[in-house]
A and B are shown apart, each in its own frame.
Chain A
């Protein structure tokens, strides 16, 4: 027993010291696990060029956001450069979690480096806080066999022939066969604001956040939003062309298993199915007849942690990783990630390897993001806004009255914004 105690105490003491061991000059870079592969070689190159050592810490998505929240609350100074989820830029800026970066880009024009969508997402109140690392794009995938069997025309990748949501619904109605377990359509990220924002925006309802970012009154219950909510309710309840219950982890599996006719989702999905037997095609993102053509976009940005003691060094790292053409190109070529950097965008539109299926998914998505991107609602209360909007969509999907749900959401989000005024 005593032996165990000695061992225990020794372990304890060792852990005390290892906890405090962080070399003074080392930068702590906090990123998502998916980015470790792509970024590590460039971080090493950065160290080789500048002599600044970097310690990479990776987290899965939900943990990443949570750990930044907790550290922000505690004003911890043990991290230096971080990943910033694009729509959270205003939130982090207002709550003092990221440092302003205009001074670190004084010698270059941001608009020359990044595409407009990325620039607007990177700034708040006229100041740039977090340059974009990459972008994302939404396109339409369709199961050729199911569509042929239902007699639908294949959706087009040509702008003038872009399919409308109305046409999608008509086709889906013919495909849906509950006894066979096949459904007409499904969204990649069901009941998520990121995916569904395109619906109210296409109907002219705006992002849901009012100008200024500190209120939603009237902006979440306007005509466009009400119509979109009703439509979302209808596809799951009235017309029954989209299944309930499946969560964002399962939707792509369903399409991959041949159970879905039309799948609207991220460009990266093509990698999931290109080697399987699935006979599928890609097309442009739908829009509402007479409405605007819009798609979801934006992805990850990088920022300098505001409580860091080595902001200058961190800013150097951030600038290198986001603004270097070589990083952008590698991201595109090796990781099929949509570029936010102009040279990356150029590469995708000009390099012939992106002309053919399945790589043209990148080209298609880049085109959509570049021209029809809608940034998510810009508000410091984005965490609250998004969570409430997401649950609202899910409630509507499960049969809740769209008007009542939206009204309730608007009231709740409005009161949660009190803290930011």
Chain B
């Protein structure tokens, strides 16, 4: 019985794993290769005849020669540099604030949790209405303080910031959860011991909190960067990449090229580049700021 038992046994884990594995390979890995392949194909309609030609890197060449691509890259870079530090510092600040023992802390934490349950499209639509240049709540409110109405989403200078506000409103609540969990993991005795030693709050933060929170912060940093890199819902619903291409991030340009112009070669070459760039950025973050990733995600 034992030899047969063993032979049949080896397949069992694979069977359990099979559905999830097949689904992951089929729907997460394979599309990356499809995207890569399609980015090498150029479709033309000269003379009313559709021709699909394998052009290797030509799509990329045209992309690099297109000023709009560089503009998108620039906007994406600006967004990345601005939004991630803002979101993470606000999340950390909020998490720290919410660590306080107060009798209302449960309710307060639940309230800050609200944006997590509100989907991004909803948040986008509501904020979009709030930021309306003529009839928006925000302009009405700041009017109370004598500030003139701001164009927000219709202004070249303010549109990207407006999107940052929307994404941050939702993002901070979400990432704060992770940091809060990480903070609660830190043993209280450490703080008590340092208090006896007469340490000031700032020293606590620097020598106890930060080092022990490093893993959580790193996770949040990497995940947040990756998420914001492909942020496009507010662009699709509100700004359409404008005004004056000021919110035309790479992922939106890819979306537009594909779904509005049906230019899949261009769309997928941008997507492929995006995936590459985000892998590099994530790699950097892990390398410079992190330890070797073990089982923690």
A interface, CB within 8 angstroms of B: 66, 69, 72-73, 93-96, 125, 243-246, 380, 383-384, 387, 391, 394-395, 398-400, 405, 411-412, 415-416, 418-421
The interface bits of chain B over 29-55 (1 if a CB of A lies within 8 angstroms of the residue's CB, else 0) are 000000000000011111010100000
Identify 17 new A-B residue pairs, CB closer than 8 A, beyond the known A394-B242, A418-B62.
A72-B262, A73-B262, A73-B264, A94-B48, A244-B133, A244-B154, A383-B262, A387-B260, A391-B240, A394-B243, A399-B156, A411-B67, A412-B68, A419-B42, A419-B44, A420-B45, A421-B44
Contact A391 B242 (CB under 8 A): yes
A69 to B256, CA, bound (A): 13
| CB contact between A383 and one of B46, B156, B261 (< 8 Å): that residue | B261
The interface bits of chain B over 137-176 (1 if a CB of A lies within 8 angstroms of the residue's CB, else 0) are 0000000000000010011100000000000000000000
Give every chain A residue within 8 A of B48 (Cβ-Cβ).
93-94, 96, 125
What does DSSP make chain A's interface, helix, strand, loop or mixed? helix
Q: Is B291 an interface residue (CB 8 A)?
A: no
Q: Is B64 an interface residue (CB 8 A)?
A: no
Chain B residue at smallest Cβ distance from A125? B48
Chain A residue at smallest Cβ distance from B132? A245
Give every chain B residue within 8 A of A391 (Cβ-Cβ).
240-242
A243 to B46, CA, bound (A): 42
Contact A419 B43 (CB under 8 A): yes
Contact A96 B46 (CB under 8 A): no
Give every chain A residue within 8 A of B151 (Cβ-Cβ).
244-245, 398
B interface, CB within 8 angstroms of A: 42-46, 48, 50, 62, 66-68, 132-134, 151, 154-156, 240-244, 256, 259-264
Chain A residue at smallest Cβ distance from B50? A96
Give every chain A residue within 8 A of B262 (Cβ-Cβ).
69, 72-73, 383
Give every chain B residue within 8 A of A411 (Cβ-Cβ).
67
Give every chain A residue within 8 A of B67 (Cβ-Cβ).
411
Give every chain A residue within 8 A of B66 (Cβ-Cβ).
415
A165 to B198, CA, bound (A): 79
Give every chain A residue within 8 A of B132 (Cβ-Cβ).
245
Nearest chain B CB to A109 CB, angstrom units: 25
Give every chain A residue within 8 A of B134 (Cβ-Cβ).
243, 245-246
Chain B residue at smallest Cβ distance from A127? B48
Chain A CB within 10 A, most for which of B45, B66, B155: B45
A66 to B155, CA, bound (A): 29
A153 to B62, CA, bound (A): 55
Contact B155 A383 (CB under 8 A): no
